[in-house]
A = this chain, B = another copy of it.
Amino acid sequence: MNVVIIGSGNVATILGRKMFLAGHEIRQIVGRHEDNAAPLADELNCGYVLTLDEINKDSDLYIIAISDSSLAEIGTELFLDKQLVVHTAGSVPKSVLEKVSRNYGVLYPLQSLRKEIKTTPEMPLLVDANTEDNLTLIYDFAKTISDKVEAASDEERLKLHVGAIIVNNFANHLYALTEDYCRNENIHFQMLLPLINETASRLNSFPPKEVQTGPAERNDFQTIEKHIELLAQNPALKKIYEVMTESIIQNVRFKVEKFKVVSDK
């Protein structure tokens, strides 16, 4: 397919690379920031322009990979008649494109993408469209750049986006807090990396509930208390320790009251 990419950030770059490798012809990059658009156009062997006024209007597919707030205004800035156009956002309905073209949809990568990482990880794609025919077109296109493609409505995509935030942003925030904590306490965060990798890769074989371990899971209030004391100087981490511990305890159906009695001592 002939493709125009609107955007030149992480998602634009990674999708661009995947499409280029799959043999699609990237026609043009439309990017506001020349510092990003120029090198991406160079890498994908195409031209670039800095405004939507200069967009190439006769390509097969337009991929919009810009921020959610810019996407909200795209209906007043881009008019494509009948060319197929997709956005790449998890939490924005496809109808944001209804004034852009008669044929529109979504191509949402359910992965954390960083252009500086050259070996792209497995990237599931969620697709959606305003008609069955467009859905088939987008689905088939998606299959050329990913093995894992599923159709998902606006609502399903939004829900999976929430899931993605929990397992990516929140897990990573736990790692970031732990790294800070290790630095402050003069212990080596690096020693925890094998455990972090094991915790993730184990999910390929076991459901997470089956491999839950630790003091909260086994109702070990003495250890929990020891840990909460240790975190007295670190209120941010202490709060999260308490909330997560309480949530695990609730999940294993122990009485929450019991934990509260211990932690209020």
Give A residues with C-beta under 8 Å from B. 68-69, 91, 110-112, 114, 117, 121-124, 126, 148, 150, 152, 156, 158-179, 181-182, 185-189, 191-205, 207-209, 211-217, 220, 222-223, 226-227, 230-231, 236-237, 239-241, 243-244, 247-248, 250-251
Query: Taking A205-B117, A214-B169 as contacts, is the C-beta distance between A230 and B159 under 8 angstroms?
Result: yes
Q: Which residues of B contact A222 (CB under 8 A)?
A: 68-69
List the B residue with the shortest CB-CB distance to A201.
B197
How many copies of the shown chain assemble into the complex?
A: 2
List 14 additional A-B contacts (Cβ < 8 Å) besides A112-B213, A158-B226, A163-B189.
A110-B191, A158-B227, A162-B241, A163-B178, A163-B187, A165-B215, A168-B195, A168-B199, A169-B248, A170-B241, A171-B200, A172-B199, A173-B251, A175-B203
Of all chain B residues, the one with the shortest Cβ separation from A214 is B169
**B160, A192: Cβ atoms closer than 8 Å:** yes
Quick one: given A117-B205, A208-B176, are A230 and B158 in contact (CB under 8 Å)? yes
Cα A255 to Cα B109 in complex, Å, equals 30
| Residues of the B chain whose Cβ atoms lie less than 8 Å from the Cβ of A172 | 199, 208, 211-213
Q: Which of B159, B201, B208, B227 is A187 in contact with, Cβ under 8 Å? A: B159
Q: Smallest Cβ distance from A207 to chain B, in angstroms? A: 6
Query: A241–B159 contact, CB under 8 A?
Result: no
A234 nearest CB neighbor, chain B only: B162
Chief secondary structure at chain A's binding surface:
helix
Cα A192 to Cα B162 in complex, Å, equals 11
Q: How far is the CA of A18 from the CA of B106 in the complex (A)?
A: 50
Q: A111 is contacted by which of B158, B195, B201, B217 (Cβ under 8 Å)?
A: B195
Do A169 and B212 touch across chains, with their CB atoms under 8 A apart?
yes
* Cα distance A181–B165 in the bound complex, in angstroms: 13
Q: Is A195 within 8 A of B247, CB to CB? A: no
With a CB–CB cut-off of 8 A, which chain B residues contact A69? 220, 222
Residues of B within 8 A of A198 (CB): 111-112, 121-122, 168
Q: How far apart sit A203 and B112, CA to CA, in the bound complex (Å)?
A: 13
Instruction: Enumerate chain B residues within 8 angstroms of A227, measured Cβ to Cβ.
Output: 91, 158, 161-162, 165
- From known contacts A91-B227, A165-B215, infer whether A200 and B199 are also in contact, taking CB-CB under 8 Å: yes
Contact B175 A214 (CB under 8 A): no
